[in-house]
Chain A
Amino acid sequence: MGMDNAKKTRQGLARRVLRRPAAVIAVAWLVLLVAATTAAPLFTSYGALEQDLGNVLEGPSADHLLGTDVLGRDLLSRLLFGGRSTLVAVAEALAVFLVIGVTLGLLAGYRGGWVDWLVTRGADLMFALPGIVIVLVVLSVFPGNLHAAMITFGILGAPGLIRILRAQTLTIREELFVAAAKVAGLTHGQILRRHVLPRMASIIIVQGALFAAIVVTIQAGLGFLGLGAQPPEPSWGGLVADASQSIDRAPWMLVPAGVPMVLTVVALGLLGDAIRDAAIENWAVSRSSSAQPGGRPAERIPAQRAAADDAVAAPAPDALLSVRDLTIEIGGLRVVDGVSLDVAPGETVGLVGESGCGKSVTSLGILGLIPGGGRITGGRVVFDGVDVAGAPEAMARIRGTGIAYVSQEPMVALDPTYAVGRQLAEAVRTHRRCDRKGAHARALELLDLVHIPDPAAVARRYLHQLSGGMAQRVAIALALAGEPRLLIADEPTTALDVTVQAEILGLLREIQERTGMAVLLVTHDWGVVADLCRRAVVMYAGQVVEQADVDGMFAHPLHPYTGGLMAANPHHAVHGEALPTIPGTVPAPYEWPSGCRFAARCDRATEECAAAPVPLSLPVPGRSTRCIHVGSLLQEGGLR
């Protein structure tokens, strides 16, 4: 079973490679070259050494397709016969390169420890050397011995392959599926064969092609320097040397002498690129095909506007931020679909949902920074009375001073190459006029504001010298530099330990009390919502499904998804009993149905739910929900 499938993927790779026109041309050229050189007498009627002093230095003609050299020898036949030594040289160097590179690369990466240390050190030493010089030393000792030269060159090239394969093996060795295979009892040999080597195959082929290309030019170079085949024996490098002798009389000779060599290397390079691209495509195809079975264009999904909800469609006059009908597409796929929400001055609003519901993209969309080449295709983002959705310049002006941003992973949220203090000072100077000294002083104030002990010392530190909690405090300080009126915090505590999370949440609350800043908190954690937020907006499959004050929402959720998500939280679970669950998974954007997007997972779903898009309704003042069963939900007094 394993063998069959392995073969299938390998064939698949070859087929995918040959689907590329460049690769087909490259393979055709290489095949032709090998055939023509090994069977040279079939392709040319002249011998490589056959002189014709009556026809020297001729251009191409019917008799001599590529012309003749200074002794009247046919250049095509010299090229073809000379190509044989090139093929032999490539084969020798490549064999040595692959055997040493693959063996030591895998060994070092997989075994680790002292073997790794030794191999890596040796490879680094050799990698530092200019290979050609060592080859020259070898040739001075073994004059004219191209075999020795090529074996040496193979050895000198191997460290490059060793480094790449070692790094790859190290990565794979740390993958959990290798740990799982070990636990399953597979031997090292089985793990190498089943899990490590298949991932290396395309890398090895690509590197082999590149190295072969280099060997072609190096072998020719040695011939050119007079260190390869001795005249009158033909070689590609020798042809270039001959051409250089008559460069003033017959510059044409440079063409047959050099172009075939260049083409051969180009062919090897193209082949390498094609194999690499095809290998990546293998992943990409399996990813995107999983992501888009029968991929439906975004256009066909109707924008699910809150029907006849003019009250909702108009921006709230007293809101600091008022998002209306925001629609965002990434790669032609609608991922945020008519989202509306408000944040009042000083208010904390939670934007809640599971991964893939569009909450992060919404928050970045408010800032006009949509990842993956996405764009806002509809709706308004009104901040402080100004619509910034279609106005990049207005948007740029409010970033930092109007709206600031804190991201999820503090350990990658700061530039690792600048000291913390300098980054903060830069942020300060971006937003207010002041000199370096003033900016630095303000940076220290900001660090103090986020309760960093000994700000002056921490300002001199770099990211890698901070703990996760410290780094998140610094990231918050950076966001505060422009004295923003709204902070968008995208899962600011998800990457942190629970005790550190409590501190960061406490810090955010304290800053809000002191500065009156509003917060839009993107989170999946109901505990965090309960702790910090006054209102919450729940998203599902790109839409807002419920919006309410936190106390009301926790007491009586008015959308089955909100209720289900709260019930699934193990916080309230009874030990020994099954947790209430929501069956199925969140649909991906291309799977969104035209009716209620939660219907397939909802225990209240009726035919009506799937029939048409469900609008947001306002069953209770200050609350909205996207459920047609809201009446019965209200009657039951909520779901729980």
Chain B
Amino acid sequence: MTASSASTSETGTASAPPAVLEVRDLSVHFRQGRGHPPLRAVDGVSFAVRAGETVGLVGESGSGKSTIGRAVLGLNPVTEGRISFAGDDITRAAPRVRRRLSSRLQVVFQDPYSSLNPARTIGQTLAEPLLVHEKSGRAETAERVAAMLRRVGMPADAADRYPGQFSGGQRQRIAIARALMLSPQLVICDEPVSALDLSIQAQVMNLLAELQDELALSYLFIAHDLPVVRHLSHRVLVLYRGQVLESGDAGAVYDRPAHPYTQALLAAAPEPDPAAQRARRASRAAAKAEPGPPSPTGCVFAHRCPQVADRCRTERPELRVLAPEPAPRAVACHLVDELP
């Protein structure tokens, strides 16, 4: 389960194992009403997720990370680009294709309160995926539900109860159970632990890691919390305003951030160690507060960037691959060679 197994290039050359999920130049634009230009929620994003791998999408609100996940799931329309799953193009898959796909592609959402129908028992909710795919008998369904509940650390008798009777952490376990009912290959985890308390968050993160090992799952792990993404992901993409500003091996990006935005993001997260935090505060060159509007043609981060140069405001930097580390590091910054 090391990152090095997922090596070679982003594009997935012939020698590499086939990607479970491959996203090419994905753009999702939303109309914003008359007189406004469309919101470029996702703007030319490419990445791949291989078997057994976790790819993290990190960014603040408005970065487009959740929109990417929803586009992969077919919950958001795609404006441009191509999404393929196990080699098949699913960018604009017909409902019938989607239905078949649902046994292999699943999701865990952020809010465990909204993601379970309060009026249906846990058993009914967990049996739902089976409705579509395998017409199994009542006894067999109940058995599978019970087994899955036990697997995620819930008592089997939870099946007869309603979501209102469970805490947030327990509900998130149930949501994970629902996602795994049909043994999927890829699970989109959209902020699966950010609504949870610290002690529960750790439990759920461990559960996700165990299940990945056991079932050879791939995760697309979406979160705003860098340490959380760092802990679970092999590779990460750092997103800002719908664009990838940096991508690479999770540890490398975290330990040696190359893009000024990644640096700012890491510097802003306070460290749970008073002495270290004091030192960090003293050295931090903060991103500019309350910036003006971003420049329409240049780098999306230019208006907040402490290192901004003139060309950043006029010319959008391409995502360039740096020296091949265990996983290739790519950075979208004109100044990447001049930065520390």
Direct contact of A and B (CB under 8 A): yes
Residues of A with Cβ closer than 8 Å to B? 1-2, 5, 9, 175-177, 179-187, 190, 194-195, 198-199, 283, 286-287, 289-290, 354-355, 451-453, 467, 469-470, 497-499, 501-503, 505-506, 524-531, 550-551, 554, 564-566, 568-573, 575-576, 578-583, 585-586
A455 to chain B, nearest CB (A): 12
Q: Among B73, B125, B169, B268, which residue has the most Cβ atoms of chain A within 10 A?
A: B268
Partner of B199, one of A181, A529, A581: A581
B8 to chain A, nearest CB (A): 21
**Residues of B with C-beta under 8 A to A499:** 60, 264-265, 268, 286-287
Which A-B residue pairs are the 9 nearest by beta carbons? A527-B270, A185-B102, A526-B272, A290-B165, A185-B99, A568-B202, A502-B268, A176-B115, A354-B197
**Residues of B with C-beta under 8 A to A199:** 119
Is the beta-carbon distance between B120 and A530 smaller than 8 angstroms?
A: no
A142 to chain B, nearest CB (A): 44
Any A CB within 8 A of the CB of B129: yes
Partner of A531, one of B107, B205, B281, B289: B281
Q: List 25 A-B contacts (CB under 8 A).
A: A5-B121, A5-B124, A175-B117, A182-B73, A183-B73, A184-B132, A185-B99, A185-B100, A195-B120, A283-B164, A355-B197, A469-B289, A499-B60, A499-B287, A502-B284, A527-B269, A527-B272, A529-B272, A530-B273, A566-B272, A570-B225, A570-B231, A575-B251, A581-B203, A585-B170
B172 to chain A, nearest CB (A): 12
B32 to chain A, nearest CB (A): 15
Q: Which residue of A lies closest to B271 (CB)?
A: A527
- Determine the distance from Cα of A470 to Cα of B291 in the docked complex, in whole angstroms: 11
Any A CB within 8 A of the CB of B310: no
Q: Among A183, A190, A290, A498, which residue has the most Cβ atoms of chain B within 10 A?
A: A183
Is the beta-carbon distance between A497 and B75 smaller than 8 angstroms?
A: no
Any A CB within 8 A of the CB of B2: yes
Q: Among B110, B114, B116, which residue has the most Cβ atoms of chain A within 10 A?
A: B114
Is the beta-carbon distance between B268 and A184 smaller than 8 angstroms?
A: no
Partner of A1, one of B99, B109, B138: B138
Partner of A524, one of B107, B131, B197: B197
Q: Using known A-B contacts A499-B287, A570-B227, A575-B250, determine if residue A586 contacts B102 with beta carbons closer than 8 Å.
A: no
Partner of B272, one of A502, A530, A576: A530
**Residues of B with C-beta under 8 A to A185:** 98-103, 129, 132-133
**Residues of B with C-beta under 8 A to A2:** 124, 127
Is the beta-carbon distance between A195 and B117 smaller than 8 angstroms?
A: yes
Residues of B with Cβ closer than 8 Å to A? 1-2, 60-61, 70, 73-75, 95, 98-103, 105-107, 109-111, 114-121, 123-125, 127-129, 131-133, 138, 141-142, 162, 164-167, 169-170, 175, 178, 197-203, 205-206, 209-210, 224-228, 230-231, 250-251, 264-265, 267-277, 281, 284, 286-287, 289-290
Partner of B164, one of A9, A194, A290: A290
Is the beta-carbon distance between A569 and B269 smaller than 8 angstroms?
A: no
Partner of A568, one of B75, B120, B199: B199
A interface SS class: helix
**Residues of B with C-beta under 8 A to A467:** 290
**Residues of A with C-beta under 8 A to B70:** 179
- Determine the distance from Cα of A531 to Cα of B120 in the docked complex, in whole angstroms: 44
**Residues of B with C-beta under 8 A to A498:** 60, 224, 226, 265, 268-269
- Contacts A198-B119, A570-B205 known; list 4 others, CB within 8 Å: A190-B131, A497-B60, A502-B286, A579-B205
Is the beta-carbon distance between B198 and A289 smaller than 8 angstroms?
A: no
Q: Which residue of A lies closest to B70 (CB)?
A: A179
- Determine the distance from Cα of A572 to Cα of B272 in the docked complex, in whole angstroms: 9
B101 to chain A, nearest CB (A): 8
Q: Among B106, B120, B167, B290, which residue has the most Cβ atoms of chain A within 10 A?
A: B290
Is the beta-carbon distance between A582 and B199 smaller than 8 angstroms?
A: yes
**Residues of A with C-beta under 8 A to B142:** 1
Is the beta-carbon distance between A550 and B164 smaller than 8 angstroms?
A: no
- Determine the distance from Cα of A529 to Cα of B271 in the docked complex, in whole angstroms: 9
**Residues of A with C-beta under 8 A to B230:** 570, 575
